[in-house]
Structure 1
Amino acid sequence: MEGPVLRQLLSYMYTLQAPQLSSMTPQMLAVADKYGLSALKAACEQQLATQLTVENAAATAVLAVRHCCPSLTPASVAFIKDHNFRVMATQGWADMMRSHTEDLIEVSRLLAEPPEEIRSLSVEEKGRRLIQAAEEGSVEEIRTLLAAGADLGVRDKYMGTALHCAAPTSLHVL
């Protein structure tokens, strides 16, 4: 542990005030995790989540996965998803590929996973939303619902499937 990190850790332990760290926040999160300082860890997670950029998102996501961060992991994964593939085109992503392959594989798995609010929908609700997304032409919503296990065979009130609803000359308009 570096001297400045140790000073901040001791300061926290005596005052229970989370320091405003910026550059040392990743090291403080690791130390807080190692020594079971959950309040400090949560404060570090919150600071890191507010400092997410396209350049540091890969490193932050790896840090979050490595230290089992319950709020930083979903925040960093959502940030990467929101910025499409721009994060994956950075030097930071390439660096994490070389140095933290296992953790980045977990981040990649999380990126492919549908959001919890979609996974927890009932079979009927997934089907209803699949038909609606097909009618609206919402390709991303369709992909998400299919990844969450929506049934492609579900039918609308006209007995059309999502594919029928998505087709420009839909049969169910008769």
Structure 2
Amino acid sequence: MSYINSEVKPFKATAFHNGKFIDVSDADLKGKWSVVFFYPADFTFVCPTELGDMADLYPEFKKLGVEVYAVSTDTHFTHKAWHDTSDTIKKISYPMIGDPTGTITRNFGVMIEEAGLADRGTFVIDPEGKIQIVEINAGGIGRDAGELLRKVKAAQYVASHPGEVCPAKWKEGEATLAPSLDLVGKI
């Protein structure tokens, strides 16, 4: 089953955000662009490099009107403890959602059932609550927030420019394509 253009399933959870515990639900993903960024576990190895990379680029995502949510099957209490003890995680100012029941992780299809952990899944959700980008990496392969930022810009461009598409390696300001019969076999 493809998740592209599917609606985010209902969920309610608690997140650690800017020194507080906050409630987060699927309703929070509507009305703006969102990135839901799953990772296996707090206090690990690749995960802090990814979350730190995302923290470094978070201001750029915010400029685009995008909210980022990190999700693992740890509790919100564990997120706070990690934040309080890791210099890398202290940089994070986006919500870190606790999903100890695995509900959200299963809703997005990234639960590693035998481990009770999430795959490295990245989902970009449009303001209508529909998934526009899905990326899932194996546990040992870290993601690049800069590449995700490029993809978000492309998704936003395509959404606001009907009839245009972004080719491979497209960057903001570069030429797009307008699919038509005249382009078939010419690219």
Q: TM-score over 0.5 for the alignment?
A: no
TM-score (norm 1): 0.23
The one of the two structures with greater contact order (alpha-carbon pairs below 8 A, sep at least 6) is 2
TM-score (norm 2): 0.21
Higher strand share: 2
Q: Work out which of the two has the higher radius of gyration on C-alpha atoms and give 1 or 2.
A: 1
Higher helix share: 1
